[in-house]
């Protein structure tokens, strides 16, 4: 059974492309460079909503222990590097974690 770590962040429409670029070129490569055991990848979802753009990240891990390996004992704490904070308007302070109960 795997774990999905789900987190939301919002930008202004003007900062949405910049944030997506930061995710693709800095944040995701930085996560992958950590070579966390049990980390299986990340998906990025995006949708425009009125005066803001919502981003959802969905990280997949083999187990909750692997999430702790990534984020530490306070594993629900959001992982938002300073470079991302600079263009985000707001974000979830914590990520939610779900057990995958059916195959994808």
Cross-strand bridge partners of residue 4: 60, 98
- CATH number 3.30.230.10 is the correct assignment for the domain at 3-99: no
Confidence (pLDDT) at 15: 97
Confidence (pLDDT) at 75: 95
Q: What is the 3-state secondary structure (H, E, C) of 29-81?
A: HHHHHCCCCCEEEEEEEEEEECCEEEEEEEEEECCHHHHHHHHCCCCCECCCC
**Tens digits of residue pLDDT in 87-102:** 999 999 999 999 999 8
**Distance, CA of 18 to CA of 14 (rounded, Å):** 8
Confidence (pLDDT) at 104: 59
DSSP 91: E
**Tens digits of residue pLDDT in 37-89:** 999 999 999 999 989 999 999 999 999 999 999 999 999 999 999 999 999 99
């Amino acid at each position: 059974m795997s774990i999905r770590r789900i987190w939301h962040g919002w930008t202004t429409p003007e900062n949405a492309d910049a944030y997506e670029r930061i995710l693709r070129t800095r944040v995701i490569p930085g996560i992958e460079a950590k070579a966390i055991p049990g980390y299986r990848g990340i998906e990025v979802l995006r949708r425009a909503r009125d005066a803001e753009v919502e981003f959802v990240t969905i990280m997949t891990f083999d187990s909750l222990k692997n999430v702790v390996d990534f984020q530490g004992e306070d594993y629900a704490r959001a992982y938002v590097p300073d470079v991302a904070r600079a263009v985000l308007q707001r974000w979830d302070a914590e990520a939610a974690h779900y057990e995958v109960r059916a195959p994808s």
